[in-house]
Amino acid sequence: MHYIDYDWLIFIFRYLHVISGVMWIGLLWYFNFVQIPTMPKIPEALRPAVTGHIAPEVLFWFRWSALATVVTGLILAHMNGYLTDALAIGLTDQNGRSAAIGIGMWMGLIMAFNVWFIIWPKQQIALGLIEADASLKPAAGRIAMLFSRTNTMLSIPMLYAMVSAQNLY
């Protein structure tokens, strides 16, 4: 019987983690650096195309790429034997690499939580994807935007922590 080489599996999960992470952060930055600032400049008659067609599609890929990034990252950390030490941010092994990757992991987990439990539910209200009183839409949109901006700010040190863990240690 032929078994897949363990190093090859690690490579596959690292590749999937990076690809899903690029999609997630790319879409996050698209929202915050392109769509949100551009919406006021779009003529009123064209805005429903963005809110009714583009945004729901982007949000689909946004939330699933967030989940894929977290799942593949946790699997990768487990396969490489540093999951527990990283989640303990280096306190169990006194290792700078575990601290760096752990800080990045926790930021990513917080960001994924924000995506699934705050941004997505509020965007569903703001975009009218679920039944809700029309008076709730502006506040829901603002909350989604603020948490999205929070994730954008967290993405910068998160990416630094992830890259430094791979390159400084």
Look at residue 84 and tell me if it is in a domain: yes
Look at residue 65 and tell me if it is in a domain: yes
Look at residue 21 and tell me if it is in a domain: yes
pLDDT of residue 3: 72
pTM for the full model?
A: 0.92
- Give the largest Cα separation in the chain, rounded: 63
Look at residue 79 and tell me if it is in a domain: yes
Containing H/E element for 113? Answer: helix 96-114
Look at residue 46 and tell me if it is in a domain: yes
pLDDT of residue 2: 65
Dist. CA 84–CA 46, nearest whole Å:
49
108 in Cβ contact with 70 (< 8 Å): yes
pLDDT of residue 93: 96
Using DSSP's 3-state secondary structure scheme, residue 91 falls into coil
Using DSSP's 3-state secondary structure scheme, residue 135 falls into helix
Tokens of 38: 């551009």
42 in Cβ contact with 50 (< 8 Å): yes
Dist. CA 162–CA 59, nearest whole Å:
24
CA-to-CA dists, residue 150 to 19, 118, 132, 143, angstroms: 22, 12, 25, 10
pLDDT of residue 169: 76
Look at residue 142 and tell me if it is in a domain: yes
112 lies in which domain range? 6-167
Look at residue 51 and tell me if it is in a domain: yes
Q: How far apart are the first and last CA of the chain?
A: 37
Phi first, then psi: give them for residue 61, nearest 5 degrees. Answer: -65, -35
Look at residue 1 and tell me if it is in a domain: no
List per-block mean pLDDT (blocks of 10 residues) for the chain, which spans 169 residues.
Answer: 82 97 98 96 95 95 98 97 97 96 98 98 96 95 97 98 90
Structural domains in the chain (count): 1
